[in-house]
Structure 1
Amino acid sequence: MSNFPAQHQSRDPGLEHEMTPRPDYEPRFPGSGRLAGKTAIITGGDSGIGRATAVLFAREGADVAILYLDEDRDAEETKALVEREGRKALLIKGNVRSKAACKDAVEKTVATFGKLDILVNNAAHQEEVEDLREISEEQLAKTFETNIYGYFYMTQAALDHLKSGAAIVNVTSVNSYKGNDTLIDYSSTKGAITAFTRSMASNLVEKGIRVNGVAPGPIWTPFIPMAMDEEKVASFGSQVPMKRAGQPNEVASALLFLASEDGSYFTGQVMHPNGGTIVGA
């Protein structure tokens, strides 16, 4: 099944405003104050799952800090969307590969909003490679430093400020569970994120801080036209039982559940918005 027009972006990271059609980030229901008075920081919050999560969190009452690399137009659009919901947004330009940048992002968030209640680790990098031998040292370092080092750095910085009742939500991937023959390094980092989530949940449970994960399947985000060739984009998502790609707002609701008191009895768990692919929990 063809879902999208064939398209490709040569820029890394990809840009949401250049995608056709644009991803669906809009919350689907009125807010009910589930995050009223909370402050969240979302890495990779300018677009894709990060944008949808930022807007949904704002609708539910949270102020949001958005850490992004260099996608200025997308970030400004997301800021405006958060403010449309009546909440405050803080844009922070920085690279999660840098421990100093992660510490700076958390400190700016706390300085602006006075506290930190929710950390969403979402920023990621992927490149398709057919043969393991073609993965360069540079690509391997970039993938691991972005996808797992960044989660460590952000969590280390956030722990100076998170108190009992706080939540951490890590975005992993269906590829953590089933593997992917052309995303070997990426899938490996996502497996590390799943283990990191479970380990940190055990580490922090007595402090009253919950740590959970979300493992999306094929979701229509700027990752896709950036990382895939045009033919693959045109059929993206058709391989899952639902025969379609998901939209970012279909994942954001899982992050909201885990970040809010709706998920108060969840820690060390991973939710699977993946279109019906059956994987081990």
Structure 2
Amino acid sequence: MISTLKIPAQSQTLPGSEATMDPPAEMIRDGYKGADKLDGKVALITGGDSGIGRSVAIHFAREGADVAIVYLSETEDATDAKRLVEAEGRRCHLIEGDLSDADFCRRCIEETVDKLGGLNVLVNNAGTQCVSENLTELPDEQWRRMFEVNMHSQFYLAKAALPHLSEGDSIINTASINAYVGPDFLVDYSATKGAIVSFTRSLSNQVVGRGIRVNAVAPGPVWTPLQPATLGAHNPQWLEGFGEDTPMGRAGQPSELGPVFVFLASQDASFISGQTIHPNGGTIVNG
């Protein structure tokens, strides 16, 4: 059983650092045993250097997958994530760059196929957020950037990945509980996450006949570097008690998200497509 996180006031700057989080996040729980659920698969995970993405990378590796990790600029975190994947006996390829660039997204797919020999699972996980409590003061550039990073990148990557995917392969998009609850200080972020839910449903309908499944994960509050780098940067005290308003009374750990992605990527989820899974601490969102 995971105990309640005691998170003190703190802040970071974007894109955030796993190494400086207080307390450190848990990536994989003690005793998690792989069962070759992804044996021989190749996965590309955006934002795989830290937080939920790093946990997904480690879990995928323990289940037998080789992993490509895309990250913006956090070289220390990315190098550490690679070390953790390789410690599971799997290959890991790092790709640094900005996912708002369509050409870079296409290169990510090409590099993964070239370096790791194919592609079976695309995890569109990278994202950013910024606090803005007044829509009239939200900069136009911030609105555009939010969609370019969070939403447009998923389109670019999925478009480039689909020619390489075949029956039994999958795409998993990271949405958010905020697509459903709509916090008033994250209007642009919540809008992108709502778009991701709809993108997931429509893309699933388009490709499920080919045996390719497309699903989403909509996490609730999870202890990742994005929180101190955005909520904490706006007001360090906002992180005190982070997640305590969930029915479970706590924030989640990345270790509790990794197995959700394993499930959706594996044949355990062979009859699931176009759906959104809600690991959010018990909040009912009816989505």
SS at match of 1:160: helix
2:136 paired residue number: 133
Runs of 4+ aligned structure 1 residues displaced above 4 Å come to none
Partner residue of 1:232 out of 234, 238, 246: 238
User: In structure 2, what is the Cα distance between the partners aligned to 1:159 and 1:42?
Assistant: 15
Q: Which residue of 2 aligns with 1:74?
A: 77
Alignment match of 1:173 (pick from 172, 176, 184)? 176
Give the Cα separation in 2 of the matches to 1:55 and 1:104.
23
Q: Which residue of 2 aligns with 1:58?
A: 61
Q: Is 2:160 the counterpart of 1:161?
A: no
Which of these residues, 98, 117, 120, is aligned with residue 123 of structure 2? 120
CA distance in 2, matches of 1:147, 1:209: 22
Q: Deviations over 1:161-202 (max 9, x none)?
A: 111111000000001111111000000000000000000100
Are 1:204 and 2:207 counterparts? yes
**Secondary structure at 1:159's aligned position in 2?**
helix
1:244 aligned to which of 239, 250, 272: 250
Q: Which of 201, 220, 225 does residue 222 from structure 1 map onto?
A: 225
Partners of 2:151 and 2:272 lie apart in 1 by 22
Q: How many angstroms does 1:2 deviate by? A: 7.7
Partner-residue secondary structure (3-state), 1:76: helix
Partner of 2:272: 266
- The equivalent position to 2:23 in structure 1, one of 18, 21, 24, is 21
TM-score, normalised via structure 1 length: 0.98
TM-score norm. by structure 2 comes to 0.96
Deviates more, 1:23-32 or 1:35-44: 23-32
Instruction: For residues 26-58 of structure 1, give each alpha carbon's deviation from its aligned partner in whole angstroms, at most 9, with x where no partner exists.
Output: 244111000000000000110000000000000
SS at match of 2:49: coil
Aligned to 1:276: 282
Distance 1:57 1:27, change over 3 A: farther
AA partner of residue 166 (structure 2): K
Structure 1 unmatched runs, 5+: none
Aligned-residue Cα RMSD (Å) equals 1.0
CA contact (8 A) 2:5 2:251 kept: no
> Contact 1:27/1:56 (CA < 8 Å) preserved in 2?
no
Question: Percent of aligned positions with the same letter in both sequences?
Answer: 50
Three-state SS of the structure 2 residue aligned to 1:170 is strand
Aligned length: 280
Contact 1:169–1:258 at 8 Å: present in 2 too?
yes
Q: Which residue of 2 aligns with 1:183?
A: 186
SS of residue paired to 1:164: coil
Instruction: Label 1:2 to 1:73 Cα distance change in 2 as closer, same or farther (>3 A).
Output: closer
Cα distance in 1 between the residues matched to 2:72 and 2:163:
23
Deviations 1:62-102 (A, max 9, x none): 00000000000000000000000000000000111011001
Aligned partner letter, 1:126: Q
